[in-house]
């Protein structure tokens, strides 16, 4: 059951939807209950187990929802710097990049403009994460080698 819109508090609405749609991380993959934060126009919810962190982000100023998958380093979440180069050691990648390998016909998620759009985007990402990234959720980061090549090739091609 999808939570109803919680008044005008978009952050509460976003967090409630994420908690519901990503609950399988807790029940199936031994992730701890989420932590959530709001930083200006960025809403972020973090799920983590002993090896992996999943961060669900909503950048409201750009109306962009995206998922990041992180390999924990000695049990700690070390996020990647904003500005990266081909020499940067990366610990995290976008789910969209993983889907470009494992489900290349998956259409990009549209930027949500309504409450229903937010629910639809989160539901789609939740389904795709469960279906195509179970290995990462269980601590197998073999795909990260290929994801690193994609990200670093994108850096080179954008110069």
Total-model pTM: 0.90
Residue 2's pLDDT is 45
How many Å apart are CA 47 and CA 32, to the nearest integer? 6
Predicted confidence at residue 40, as pLDDT, reads: 87
How far out from the chain centre does Cα 117 lie?
17
Give the per-residue pLDDT at 8: 47
List per-block mean pLDDT (blocks of 10 residues) for the chain, which spans 159 residues: 52 93 97 88 94 95 92 94 87 96 87 85 96 98 96 83
């Amino acid at each position: 059951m999808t939570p109803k819109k919680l008044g005008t508090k978009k952050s509460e609405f976003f967090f409630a939807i994420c908690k519901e749609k990503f609950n399988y991380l807790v029940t199936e993959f031994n992730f701890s209950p989420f932590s959530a934060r709001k930083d200006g126009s960025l809403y972020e919810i973090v799920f983590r187990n002993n090896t992996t962190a999943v961060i669900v982000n909503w950048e409201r100023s750009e109306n962009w929802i995206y998922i990041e998958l992180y390999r924990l380093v000695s049990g700690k979440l070390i996020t990647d710097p904003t500005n990266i180069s081909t020499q940067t050691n990366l610990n995290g990648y976008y789910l969209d990049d993983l889907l470009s390998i494992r489900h290349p016909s998956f259409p990009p998620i549209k930027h949500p403009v309504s409450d229903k759009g937010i629910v639809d985007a989160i539901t789609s990402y939740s389904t795709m994460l469960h279906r195509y990234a179970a290995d990462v959720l269980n601590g197998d980061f073999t795909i990260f080698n290929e994801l690193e090549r994609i990200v670093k090739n994108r850096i080179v091609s954008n110069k």
